[in-house]
Copies of this chain bind each other. A is one copy, B any other.
Amino acid sequence: MENTSSKKNIVQELDPLFKPKSIAIIGASQKDLSIGNVIIKNLLSYGYKGKIYPINPSMPEIRGIKAYPTIFDVPDEIDLAHVIIPSKFVPQIIEDCGKKNIKAVIINSAGFSEMGEEGMALQNEFLAIAKKYGIRIFGPNCQGIINTDPELKAYCDFTFTFPEPGGASIVALSGGVGAFIMQSLFDLEIGMSLYASNGNACDVSIPEIIEYYGEDEATKAIILYTEGLSNPKAFMKVAASVTKKKPILAMKSGRTEEGAKAAASHTGSLAGVDISTELIFEKTGILPFNNEEEMCQAAMAFSTQPIPKGNRVGVITNTGGPAVIATDELVSAGLHLSPLSERAKGKLQQTLLPEATIGNPIDVVATGGGVHFRSALDVLMEEDSIDSIFVNFVTAPFTDTDEVARNIVEVSQLKKKPIICNFMTNLSLERFQVTAKILKDGGVPCYSFPTTAAKALGALYKYSLAKNREIGLPKAYTEIDIKEAKSIIELAKLEGNTYMTSDKVFQLLSVYGLPIADWALVNNIPEAIAAAKKIGYPVVVKAESPELVHKSDKGGVAINIKNAEELQSTIEKMKSGIGIKDMKFLVQKFLIGGKELIAGISKKEGLGHLIMFGLGGIYVEVLKDVIFKIAPVTELEANEMLSSIKASKLLDGVRGQLGINKSKVTDIIQRLSKLISDFPIVEEMDLNPILAIGDDVFCVDARIKIN
């Protein structure tokens, strides 16, 4: 029920913005090239079907349209207002908009949060007024929106590209990037449904826009550009649900330190490379791109083609080299050129030219015509072992290329399996323009390079994986005594230390069912000797005191203690060497051998926590071989963490060594995740090392930072 009402809400909320029946331009201007003029010009040029009300205190008309001194002078209802006036006047105008019952406002004007404190105050001022009246604010300091619906044609923007209607929708934080992506789709002849670039994004947010696009029937694929997410939780919720319906192709820039610095300097946000956005993309099934050209090229495939059921691709070519290039890239993208059935080969033998190569790729050779391409296409359409088709088509001068194109189109329009075409031709020749038009009009996505085309098919396949990936729910672990855990943490808080003391750490781990090597906290040597006897030698001893931070540097850790004498002398040495009064000592079983693993938790403001897993020691220090996921982590995700570290083979055992007990490790990861869900007060937690010995796994040392 909640879902339904939320859907209803987002449509109701944002319809006045994206489907305005009437638009006022507050700050309409007669000055050519001014924003208050360009927007009216764009609405007119694009053929906006609603009413336009230029608002200008002194002009009777602008661009031939009757203008009004104020919005109150407009006799009709106004759905949407553009505001293009100096920032200091904006709060008053929003008050007026409220009185006029305007439901949505695009504030193009700059001079708000991007300009520092004073601007922020102004922004907060008009936002409070907007909330009072229930006005949704888009911007400020933004471009606007475009809706290409032929029944509406709302071009509420000052950009210069006039897109055709179609299946791609764009949402971009940066107007500059949004505009060139729109231009690129236009150049690639990919139709667009909606466009939004919301600048400071003080109210209408990117998650809301994505949710709205999710409900827009015309939108087949969403293209997102961002430099960081201001409300990651809201974003995740929306994204996870929308990607089940349609693909979101996204690019997050600022992936290098210098890039993040450049982003900070133009948006005023905090600098610093952040891995969380890519983790969010992964968790929610968003397709990530580091190359905006590739993203636009992929959008072309998504806008017309069905999603493949699997990774098995059939390649048809009429020239050798480009098929080799395509194969390399297809395979790199995780696709597989599966062998043809005997039946298929038989059919091809009957129908193709004698010089043809029957296999996968199928080479119909340059002299192959429409009938040969058609036969290969039909065979691949019929093969159960083929999920998608890649066509390399060079317009050989001695071929009826139009006939080839018509056959590709006919098969493509069955929409049974995606078809991607690498179309190698000279478009300055009229003859081949005709061929290109047949393919284009038939909805066949055409590329000029085999690698580019293969990458696009790779993106379709990646979306099929993301769409079908069900991560499930986190395990409940109902047996865990949360009350007891709470009392441990509250005691720790009372102690006032940033880092919990070792005994509390181990107690908490015990409550959460995390396997720990036997331990005891003791006050003196006799207690230590008694404890060690119980635990069994060899043992480890660690000095414990809130004042003692870098234990091992200060001689506060001793390993492999084999008997009582050694234990006694070790503790004596620690007492005199460290020189802190009232030290306690942690005595713990010393474990030898096994594989060192690490797991941990770190807090990410606004997002929650990240869970980390990796191989310990030099693997983490030198090879940075660790994996992060956003908490909570499900069993599937925990398994993915183990299998996606670079040295994952080590977990299975190599060089005659046995593998580790992986299910015990994934259980630890999930219990960590449960702990952090129950107690978000934990800021940081490290289990380092976790030792996997034989079939057992022990958390040997742990550190917990609370807030």
Contacts and interface: CB of A to CB of B under 8 A. Distances in A.
A227 B324 contact: yes
A165 interface: no
A617 interface: yes
Contacts of A266: 320-321, 323-324, 357, 363
A448 B184 contact: yes
B448 A337 contact: no
Contact of A654 (B255, B366, B622): B622
A582 interface: no
Interface string A233-259: 000000000000000000101111111
B265 A449 contact: no
Interface in A206-256: 225, 227, 251, 253-256
Contact of A320 (B176, B322, B332, B622): B176
A366 B174 CA distance: 13
Interface in A397-441: 397-398, 424-429, 432
Contacts of A398: 33-35, 38
Contact of A187 (B331, B448, B451, B621): B448
A365 to B, nearest CB: 10
A267 interface: yes
Interface of A: 33-35, 38, 158, 160-161, 172-180, 183-184, 186-187, 225, 227, 251, 253-259, 261-263, 265-267, 290-293, 315, 319-325, 327-332, 337, 357, 359, 361, 363, 366, 394-395, 397-398, 424-429, 432, 448-452, 617-618, 621-623, 646-647, 649-650, 654-655
Top-9 shortest CB links A-B: A174-B321, A176-B319, A266-B320, A259-B328, A177-B321, A180-B424, A256-B331, A33-B398, A293-B449
Contacts of A324: 174, 227, 253-254, 259, 262-263, 266
A225, A251, A257, A319, most chain B CB atoms within 10 A: A319
Contacts of A263: 320, 324
B267 A38 contact: no
A511 B151 CA distance: 87
B337 A258 contact: yes
B184 A449 contact: yes
21 contacts: A160-B429, A175-B319, A177-B321, A177-B322, A183-B425, A183-B448, A184-B448, A186-B428, A253-B325, A256-B332, A257-B331, A261-B327, A262-B361, A266-B320, A266-B323, A290-B451, A293-B448, A622-B647, A622-B650, A622-B654, A623-B647
B654 A618 contact: yes
A321 to B, nearest CB: 3
Given A174-B321, A180-B448, A227-B324, 13 more contacts: A176-B394, A177-B325, A179-B424, A184-B448, A258-B330, A262-B324, A263-B324, A265-B357, A266-B321, A293-B448, A618-B647, A622-B647, A623-B623
Nearest to A182: B426
A324 B261 CA distance: 8
Contacts of A315: 262
Nearest to A31: B398
A668 to B, nearest CB: 22
A180, A395, A450, A451, most chain B CB atoms within 10 A: A180
A622 B261 CA distance: 37
A290 B330 CA distance: 12
B187 A293 contact: no
B395 A265 contact: no
Nearest to A34: B398
A320, A361, A428, A646, most chain B CB atoms within 10 A: A320
A123 B363 CA distance: 24
Nearest to A447: B293
A397 B34 CA distance: 9
B258 A176 contact: no
Contacts of A259: 324-325, 327-328, 331
Nearest to A256: B331
A422 to B, nearest CB: 9
Given A227-B321, A426-B161, A258 B331 contact: yes
Nearest to A449: B293
A670 to B, nearest CB: 26
Given A325-B253, A450-B292, A654-B621, A265 B180 contact: no
Contacts of A291: 449, 451-452
B328 A254 contact: yes
A263 B158 CA distance: 50
Contacts of A647: 618, 622-623
Contacts of A649: 621-622
A187, A256, A262, A291, most chain B CB atoms within 10 A: A262
Given A259-B328, A262-B323, A176 B424 contact: yes
Given A253-B325, A320-B267, A426 B183 contact: yes
A320 B363 contact: no
A259 to B, nearest CB: 4
A394 B143 CA distance: 14
Contacts of A320: 174, 176, 262-263, 266-267
A449 B258 contact: no
A256 B327 contact: yes
Contacts of A261: 327
A425 to B, nearest CB: 7
A586 to B, nearest CB: 22
B292 A451 contact: yes
Contacts of A451: 290-293
A330 B255 CA distance: 12
A63 B323 CA distance: 35
A397 B158 contact: yes
Given A180-B424, A291-B451, A647-B618, A328 B655 contact: no
Given A325-B292, A327-B259, A397 B33 contact: yes
A600 to B, nearest CB: 18
Given A180-B449, A618-B647, A327 B292 contact: no
Contacts of A452: 291, 293
A182 B43 CA distance: 42
B258 A327 contact: yes
A388 B251 CA distance: 26
Nearest to A335: B258
